[in-house]
């Protein structure tokens, strides 16, 4: 079984002996109940990973000996999913599963037909929940790089991301081209747009097409907005050789 992963500042990872305390240390010591001699990995969330062994443990922290360090470069191509805001807590579910699949960036999108809208007074709190979900899922998935969860984007901002991408795709159940037939680029950024429960409006589709996006479909069934992103990510990860 692979060792558990915890987050730490890059400065700590440069040391040969690290005291992991705070929330990460408490979780390691009291929830995971790690003890002397067990393996642990620390990461700064930006690709630096330190392989460690527990030298000592108490109720709130671990003392770790660093055995080795390595820096994992950013993966290519970079996969970005623009996720329309789902209902309820399905947004966090989408973030969790896409993080586990290896998505590099998730962009929350306030689409015209979203049932959920992040009002100004709750936007920061909602975005914080998405970022916390990504953080915890990245540790669960043993990732050395945390995915970025961008600020809430409108349709114009999404179109700008599409225009700058090496490849941009809009998932749509009426598209003729299946995603599995696509030959994605080996480098650059792939942007995938996942629409809301009510579907992507004609105006949004036109804006995205004008920016250079292609419509594509996953298969014969219609997925929920909270699961379509991870399904698309799985297809693209396999097609690009990242899986």
CATH superfamily of 5-71: Hypothetical PUA domain-like; domain 1 (2.40.240.20)
Q: Is 212 left (phi over 0), alpha (psi -120 to 50) or beta?
A: left
Q: According to the model, what pLDDT value does residue 231 have?
A: 97
Q: Look at residues 174, 159, 157 and name the one whose alpha carbon lies nearest to residue 212.
A: 159
Taking the C-alpha atoms of residue 63 and residue 191, their distance in angstroms, rounded to an integer, is 41
Per-residue model confidence (pLDDT) at position 98 = 98
- Buried b or exposed e, range 193-207, using 16+ CB within 10 angstroms: bbbbbebbeeebbeb
pLDDT at residue 59, as a whole number: 87
Residues of the chain with CATH 2.40.240.20: 5-71
pLDDT at residue 88, rounded to an integer: 83
**Token pair 């962009």: residue:** 107
- Residue with the two structure tokens 């005291």: 19
CATH number of 78-240: 3.40.1280.10
User: What is the full per-residue pLDDT of the chain (243 aa) written as tens digits?
Assistant: 789 999 999 888 999 999 999 999 999 888 889 899 999 999 999 999 999 999 999 989 999 999 999 999 999 999 999 999 998 889 999 999 999 999 999 999 999 999 988 988 889 999 999 999 999 999 999 999 999 999 999 999 999 999 999 999 999 999 999 999 999 999 999 999 999 999 999 999 999 999 999 999 998 888 999 999 999 999 999 999 999
Distances (CA, A) of 185 to 61, 122, 165, 220: 45, 38, 10, 25
**Are the C-beta atoms of 92 and 125 separated by less than 8 Å?**
no
């Amino acid at each position: 079984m692979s060792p558990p992963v915890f987050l730490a500042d890059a400065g700590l990872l440069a040391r040969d002996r690290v005291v992991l305390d705070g929330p990460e240390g408490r979780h390691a010591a009291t929830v995971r109940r790690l003890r002397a001699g067990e393996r642990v990995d620390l990461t700064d969330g930006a690709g630096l990973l330190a392989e460690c062994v527990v030298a000592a443990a108490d109720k709130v922290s671990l003392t770790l000996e660093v055995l080795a360090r390595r820096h994992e470069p950013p993966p290519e191509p970079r996969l970005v999913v623009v996720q329309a805001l789902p209902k309820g807590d399905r947004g966090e579910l989408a973030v969790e599963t896409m993080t586990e699949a290896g998505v590099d960036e998730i962009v929350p999108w306030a689409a015209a037909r979203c049932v959920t809208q992040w009002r100004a007074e709750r936007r920061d709190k909602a975005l914080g929940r998405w970022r916390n979900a990504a953080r915890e899922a990245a540790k669960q998935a043993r990732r050395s790089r945390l995915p970025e969860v961008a600020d809430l984007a409108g349709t114009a901002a999404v179109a700008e991301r599409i225009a700058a991408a090496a490849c941009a795709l809009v998932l749509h159940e009426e598209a003729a081209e299946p995603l599995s037939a696509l030959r994605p680029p080996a480098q650059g950024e792939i942007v995938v747009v996942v629409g809301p429960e009510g579907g992507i409006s004609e105006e949004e589709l036109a804006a995205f097409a004008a920016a250079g996006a292609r419509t594509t479909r996953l298969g014969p069934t219609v997925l929920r907005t909270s699961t379509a992103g991870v399904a698309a990510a799985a297809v693209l990860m396999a097609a690009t050789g990242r899986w």
